[in-house]
Structure 1
Amino acid sequence: MQVNVTIEGPDGALLDQVGWQLELEISPADEWEQELRLQVSYDGPAPVDARIRVGAEVPAEQDPYWLIPGLFYGDNRDPACARLYPRYAPGEEDAEKLVADRWSFRADRAATPIVFGWGASGGVALEVDADTSLGLSGLGLGAGPDRPPSVWVSLPYREEPFSYTGEPRGVAPLAAAHSWQPGESHELRLGLWTLPADRASYAPVLRGLRERVRRTAPPVQPWVDITTAAVLTSYGLWRWHYRPDPAVLIETALFDRELAGDLGDRGDRLAMHVAWVSGIPYAHALLRHGRRVDNPTYVEAGTAVIDNITANLTPGGTFWGVWYAEHGWRQSWTPVPGGLHARTLAEATLFTVRALVAEPIDHPVWRQAALSNLEAGLSAQDAEGNFGSLYHLETGQVLSRLGAAGLSWIAAMAEAYELFGDDRYLQAARLGGAYYASYVRNGTLCGAPEDVDLAPTSEDGYAAVIAYVALHRIDPSDRWLELARAAADWMLTFRYSYDVSFPSDTILGSYGFRTRGADQASPSNQHLHNYGLICTPELVALSTLTGDDSYANSAAEHLRCFRQFVARRNGDFNARRGMVTERYYQTECFGPPGAILTLSHSWCIGLLLLACEDVLTNPSLATLDW
């Protein structure tokens, strides 16, 4: 594998190498990996701002497949996707459409600072530390009419041809350059992988890199233990998000209560999805906690929210999408009139089933709502197994079958089969598992959240892990286990394997926030979030089934990470006791690196509470090092 090293100026133009000395040593590290040691010395007559670029060609004549973990997947965006963020397209460059045939990014946008490229005959990957003595690194990929497909590392970074910072258009490229002084020298380490053509070969590479960090870096130290986190989050969910008339968990609450007003009429989002960003999953978590600690206030609140949602079904027999204080029950977040999102409905159904299983008393209205939604899911499934992704609230008619949002019905059907024993649910889960298998194997999962259309997201990975672990439990076939593992491997591409460096005068820097174990939300939403807590038990179960501890270790890292930034008291990081934010800004997207979104989200609190309750009550989890 040929490695190219060039020197460029701040604008990316190549510099004359007079005065520069480059010494590259390549040594084997394992079967696929080679270690690169690059010694760069500058002895020119005057200081110069410059950047080092190390590149390798991808063995692809056409249509290379790209991967930057958490950031870039294949072409990265389906042409039909309404959400604009970077997309690869040969021979194109359009800042307004965020399309180009080459892309380079700052490394803190990536969950692991490595870039992969595959062709028909094999693949290649380049890995580098996110921060080196030259500054924040960069990762690049691209091809063109006059250049072969290649991947590269920039030291320090330069984004090209434009930057994506959360706006639906490209902006002026962000870049850094190192100011070299005469006589200055740096030694740089990189990893080079020569890979088989199988695109799933990324999985052992990333697993090995995560294990390397675990051996050498201390684990994240949470602010609070599991029991204390459960106490704080149950209080936060009840105090700041619960409203009793009607019983809802409002989606967001401002940190600044003086600005919002305690009644939330000047800043809180007085709305509730039935699942996803609010609703039944988190009411279930509050109810479980209330039962365990014998807190009737929490039991009453959790019960009331599920009562409210299950008592209000659409004419089509499903849950609604969203409740609004000013409008009542309405459709999902979609521009399609009357549209309800499959993943949201399936997740609400799944957690209604789980609430029925967990409760010591019967809830006939919950049971009937679950059965009604399950019937709607069965009716939506086609002969191939596709559950659809969008339904009409009046008729239940499938409005779209694009993407994999319907995959969440697999888990709902599987756990409903365990509870109700209806063979139709078993058959629907099997059929759905077979249909969505290609999305898992090809790494094309997309569509789970309501707000990013057909973008690939970490949430698609969580849904797939939950689905195939549940399916394997009711139908213990190697096929489902292999898909569960493949889904988990893909999901973990979004999980940060290192700690981003934050300036000490930012809130994340001053509090010493560590990003290892956090998840990138998606290539479209480049911020860290904790939604992966939803599949904590499934990752532990997968380790038990496969004998591979890496999945349980990753679950533990995720829970340790997000027991940081739980408000321990009023005023803690300017929040209120028990609040948890949605967004931790680790890169230049939507907010400045080192900042957080000053909103508490019901799902963020609820998922942390749910994971803590799982650890405190599930014997298979309780013995692990959390």
Structure 2
Amino acid sequence: MTVPHRPESRPELRIEALDASGQLLGSARVPGDQDRAVAVAGPFRVEVAVSSGQAAASEIVLGVVNQDAQPFTGHLRLAVELSGTPDPWWLIPGLFYGENRPEACDRRFPRFEVGANDPDGMVSDHWSFRSDRAATPAVFVWNDHDGVVLLTSETFACGLTGVGFSHSGQTATAHVVYPYREAPVTYYGSAEPRPPERGRYVWQPGETVRLNASAGRIGADRHGYARVLREVYEQARHTHVVQPWMPIAEAADVAGEGLVRWHYDPDPGVLLETVGFDREVSGQDGLRVDRQAMHVGWISGIPWAYALLAHARRAGVASDDQRSAAMKVIDFICANLSPSGTFWGTWYRSKGWSQSWTPLKGGLHARTLGEATLFLVRALELGDDVRSARPVWVSAARSNLDVIRARQRADGNLGSVHHAEDGRVLSWAGASGLTWVAALAEADRFDDDGGYLAAAVRAGEYYAQFVDREFIHGAPEDVDLAPTSEDGYAAVMAYVALHRRTGEDRWLDLARRAADWMLTFRYTYNVDFSERSMLGAYRFASRGADQASPSNQHLHAYGLICTKEMLELSQASGDPHYRARAEEALACFRQLVAREDGEVNSYRGMITERYYQTSCFQPKGMLLTLSHAWSAGVLLLGCEQMLAVSLS
């Protein structure tokens, strides 16, 4: 719901001129009640025009002129302050969440800490980033009494823009900068930071450069970002168009074929996690780059075997090979439970069944186990014929559900890492147990005494604190306690499942809040790629793709896992926005799918895990030339879930 814009709702603006090294040359202020002003800062004369309306943030147009006689190489920075803020809470969508990296997190990437100055450790009280790292180039900051936001676009005439913030004493400052600056260091995906980087633009004498931004006060509720980002999405969706390469049913066919052709190995019945695009390339050890391993959930295993089985049942007799492959994968996993009664974490060709990707010896990750169990429960709901033909599946599902329910802590926490041998909970940290909420809530067929639902409700109440805090973290095995888009997917699936089972409005509200948080990772614009890059040459449209996490800054398709839940949330809440966002994600990832051998420098049905939309891990515009089982599987799942709704 929109509310009338009030002139006092816009914070005071500060315009700053920086030289190429970042040194402040001059600044000027524009009071929040002025819609037009002229500001002089360093060599810049800036005409400021503010458009008042009903939007949460006022539109700002800057007419910037270098009034010196000589060209100027430097930056213009626009900033807003929030005073009375000893301990700020930050949000740069997809990029920075609160402190961003909890102190106990083993993975190193940018972290905020009041008064900190440890660039080598990537801990600082000030950060600045290139805008294409953000799902929406915006900086939000809150204290206990108020909140402000400053937004811009990815590029202007001066090139790539930047977003960032700083904190000093009692004042938190959000900024956008033209062109971008990265400071105090540059993060490139590794624990070792790179030196600061900056964009370069020469402001010619007398030249007028027009820049746009938006700023507003949004109140103390951290969830206030939702209205702002929805407005940005609505404005951008008409100009940032996504054109899928194929219809949904065809994409499902291609993904299903690719999953079996490239990832399925019938001996012993696994979905291999990665397969190289180039079938002639070998790794450094002389072996192919294909990863000879299978997780039971997450990046391989039961979820994608379920998607394949659902596809085969819909497609009919022609998909017998896919049906057989899916059944064999689930058979193999269910027949090999760990001594503690849950699934194992990972199967390796070289050593068989083993633990998850955790440094805790013998550890099995709760999210991976929960996701495998959830989709096993769903596979058993495909028909009486499945349940009667596969009693080992029923036994495996019950074993996993019973064991996890028995380990639940009194406060509802389901544990994050479990020991494979003796069942001890090795870690209770984070919210990775959220996926078990959905598994327990959906297991109503096997819930003879209501115990599964009771456990799901207790866990739902416990994990609600993460949703309310706007900081959900711990879902992926390889990112430790960082906030990730995958935490958002798990939360949406959990709370939609609880609402479906109970009909209670509390769960619907938590599902909505979780979905809004999840969507902070979703790109609201199409990144500007060089036409010489792979993504630029194919005109890849990034709107609808998600930043994996602040630690893993690349686009991925895992958000398709909750297509069903987003559609259901839209229906239950009466809000078409959630359906539209599910549809845009599915449209986005029906791009760059090889329909024939040789397309996208790969083979039919190969689907990458990573699209590099910024400078992290690889140069912007590149594509990871590995097909992942989960990438094909999640596209297949999203297609089947969308088709199920369309055909119902």
Using the size of structure 1 for normalisation, the TM-score is 0.97
Aligned to 1:315: 339
Instruction: Report the secondary structure of 1:15's partner residue.
Output: strand
Aligned to 1:287: 309
Residue by residue over 1:47-76, the C-alpha shift from the partner in whole angstroms, topping out at 9 and shown as x without a partner, is 121211000002333001000000000010
Whole-Å Cα distance in 1 between the matches of residues 581 and 446 of structure 2? 30
Q: Retained in 2: the 8 A contact 1:106–1:137? A: yes
Please state if 1:334 is matched with 2:358: yes
Please state if 1:182 is matched with 2:205: yes
Aligned to 2:31: none
Please state if 1:463 is matched with 2:473: no
Whole-Å Cα distance in 1 between the matches of residues 485 and 294 of structure 2? 22
| Deviation of 1:228 (Å) | 1.1
Unaligned runs of 5+ in 1: none
Q: Retained in 1: the 8 A contact 2:342–2:400? A: yes
Q: Retained in 1: the 8 A contact 2:545–2:585? A: yes
Aligned to 1:270: 292
Q: Which amino acid aligns with 2:74?
A: A
Q: Retained in 2: the 8 A contact 1:242–1:248? A: yes
Q: Which amino acid aligns with 2:279?
A: R
Residue by residue over 1:439-487, the C-alpha shift from the partner in whole angstroms, topping out at 9 and shown as x without a partner, is 1111121000000000000000000000000000111111111100000
Q: Which amino acid aligns with 2:418?
A: Y
**Aligned equivalent of 2:422, options 381, 395, 410:** 395
Aligned to 2:223: 200
Whole-Å Cα distance in 2 between the matches of residues 385 and 422 of structure 1? 18
Whole-Å Cα distance in 2 between the matches of residues 70 and 24 of structure 1? 29
Aligned to 2:405: 378
Whole-Å Cα distance in 1 between the matches of residues 551 and 42 of structure 2? 42
State how 1:152-171 maps to structure 2 within 5 Å: 152-171=175-194
Aligned to 2:271: 249
| Deviation of 1:148 (Å) | 2.6
Please state if 1:34 is matched with 2:58: yes
Q: Percent identity?
A: 52
Q: Which amino acid aligns with 1:8?
A: L
Q: Cα RMSD over matched residues?
A: 1.4
**Aligned equivalent of 1:472, options 499, 506, 520:** 499
Please state if 1:14 is matched with 2:24: yes
Aligned to 1:520: 547
State how 1:116-127 maps to structure 2 within 5 Å: 116-127=140-151
Q: Retained in 1: the 8 A contact 2:415–2:433? A: yes
Aligned to 2:12: 2
| Deviation of 1:43 (Å) | 2.9
Please state if 1:81 is matched with 2:91: no
Q: Retained in 1: the 8 A contact 2:273–2:294? A: yes
| Deviation of 1:556 (Å) | 0.4
Please state if 1:368 is matched with 2:389: no
Cα gap change, 1:466 to 1:153, in 2 (>3 Å): same
| Deviation of 1:407 (Å) | 1.1
Aligned to 1:232: 254
| Deviation of 1:622 (Å) | 4.7
Instruction: Report the secondary structure of 1:257's partner residue.
Output: coil
**Aligned equivalent of 1:102, options 107, 126, 151:** 126
Aligned to 1:595: 622
Instruction: Report the secondary structure of 1:240's partner residue.
Output: helix
**Aligned equivalent of 1:49, options 45, 61, 73:** 73
Whole-Å Cα distance in 2 between the matches of residues 493 and 577 of structure 1? 32
| Deviation of 1:177 (Å) | 2.5
Aligned to 1:494: 521
Residue by residue over 1:487-536, the C-alpha shift from the partner in whole angstroms, topping out at 9 and shown as x without a partner, is 00000000000000000000000000010000000000000000000000
Residue by residue over 1:418-449, the C-alpha shift from the partner in whole angstroms, topping out at 9 and shown as x without a partner, is 45444001101111111111111111210000
State how 1:366-445 maps to structure 2 within 5 Å: 366-445=393-472
| Deviation of 1:394 (Å) | 0.7
Q: Retained in 1: the 8 A contact 2:57–2:149? A: no
Whole-Å Cα distance in 2 between the matches of residues 392 and 18 of structure 1? 61
Aligned to 1:604: 631
Q: Which moved more, 1:549-558 or 1:55-64?
A: 55-64
Aligned to 2:33: none
| Deviation of 1:20 (Å) | 2.8
State how 1:484-563 maps to structure 2 within 5 Å: 484-563=511-590
Instruction: Report the secondary structure of 1:233's partner residue.
Output: helix
Whole-Å Cα distance in 2 between the matches of residues 111 and 18 of structure 1? 32
Q: Retained in 1: the 8 A contact 2:160–2:178? A: yes
Instruction: Report the secondary structure of 1:35's partner residue.
Output: strand
Instruction: Report the secondary structure of 2:236's partner residue.
Output: helix
Instruction: Report the secondary structure of 1:153's partner residue.
Output: strand
Whole-Å Cα distance in 2 between the matches of residues 18 and 301 of structure 1? 67
Aligned to 1:131: 155
Unaligned runs of 5+ in 2: 1-10, 27-40
Aligned to 2:35: none
Q: Which amino acid aligns with 1:169?
A: E
Q: Which amino acid aligns with 1:229?
A: A
Whole-Å Cα distance in 1 between the matches of residues 198 and 240 of structure 2? 31
